[in-house]
A and B are shown apart, each in its own frame.
Chain A
Amino acid sequence: MKSTMDPFHAIADASRREILILLTKDKQTINTLAGNFDMSRPAVSKHVKVLYEAGLILIKDQGRERYCELNPAGLDEIKSWLTFFDQFWNNKLQNLEDLLNKQADL
């Protein structure tokens, strides 16, 4: 289950990328989306589910229809990179400082 939550896994599939491209134009129902593919509606629905679980799209009920749209928040992993590298560089620079201090003691 965990792998389907991974946005990178989610876009590794050509059909799912196609769905994302279609959604850049406008929000669409699963039926409308399915009209663009040769595969069955349930197959499209399965792809939509993967994209949803990866946080890439939102699914909203509107009247009797379910609409899919791009999730702006899911398309932004910048925070995790910044947090990661902030920690990373602080650790590494501490290494460097320790190393320099050790050299000075010799």
Chain B
Amino acid sequence: MQRDLVIKWHFPHPPEKVWKYLTEPELISQWLMKNDFQPVIGHKFQFQAKPIPKMGFDGNIFCEVLEIIPNKKLVYTWKGGPKPGVIGLDTTLTWSLSPEGEGTRLVLEHTGFKGWKNYLASIFMEQGWKKGIARRFANVLNEME
């Protein structure tokens, strides 16, 4: 199972302006979260969110910039887990901007949700289980879908 989240939004402001708010750390922090983003492919950065223990999430979001097309497209990874080094949520954010009338159409795609089977697999890996066991386990879980 893997499903995606797609959110569409219209801003009555030009793409160049919206782009700034997606790519300048101080501006991002004003509407999203504190961060150390840099618009450089390969740059690794973090967001600090509220922890959600019930979902195995400690509030740290680890990101890496994958793609940048100024004023049009921004892609970065969005990963989190129950503690440092353990990733349960391994997803990707794609921000696409296009002119719409006088303003901007934003399409935000949040993709790669696999549920916590992912987390199971990663915890087995992390704790030094034999790779074969982790893989077999992951396979069985996948077959159950």
Report whether A82 and B136 are in contact in the complex, using a CB–CB cutoff of 8 Å. no
Please name the residue on chain B nearest to A90 by beta carbon: B7
Chain B interface secondary structure, helix, strand, loop or mixed?
mixed
Please tell me which one of the listed residues A21, A89, A97 contacts residue B133 in the complex, with CB atoms under 8 A apart.
A21
Grouping DSSP codes into helix (H, G, I), strand (E, B) and loop, the A interface class, with mixed when no group exceeds half, is helix
Does the CB pair A11–B120 fall under 8 Å?
Answer: yes
User: Could you list 9 examples of A-B contacts with CB < 8 Å?
Assistant: A7-B56, A78-B3, A81-B113, A92-B31, A92-B32, A95-B32, A96-B11, A96-B31, A99-B31
Q: Does A39 contact B (CB under 8 A)?
A: no
Q: Is B117 an interface residue (CB 8 A)?
A: yes
**Chain B interface residue count, Cβ-Cβ cutoff 8 angstroms:** 41
| Cβ-defined partner of A77 (8 Å) among B55, B127, B133 | B55
Inter-subunit contact B12/A89 (CB<8 Å): no
Contacts A8-B56, A77-B55, A85-B5 given; indicate if A100 touches B13 (C-beta within 8 A): yes
A20 to B119, CA, bound (A): 14
A62-78 residues at the B interface, CB under 8 angstroms = 70, 72, 75-78
Indicate if A60 sits at the interface (CB-CB under 8 A): no
What separation, in Å, do the CA atoms of A84 and B120 have in the docked complex? 20
- Residue in B7, B21, B124 whose beta carbon sits within 8 Å of that of A89 in the complex: B7
Nearest 10 A/B pairs, CB to CB: A78-B115, A95-B31, A24-B140, A8-B56, A96-B31, A72-B144, A77-B116, A76-B115, A93-B9, A100-B13
Which of A70, A78, A104 has most B Cβ within 10 Å? A78
Note all chain A residues with C-beta closer than 8 A to B7. Answer: 86, 89-90, 93
Does B85 sit within 8 A of A, measured CB to CB?
A: no
> Does residue B97 face the partner (Cβ distance < 8 Å to A)?
no
Q: Taking CB as reference atom, which chain A residue is nearest B10?
A: A97
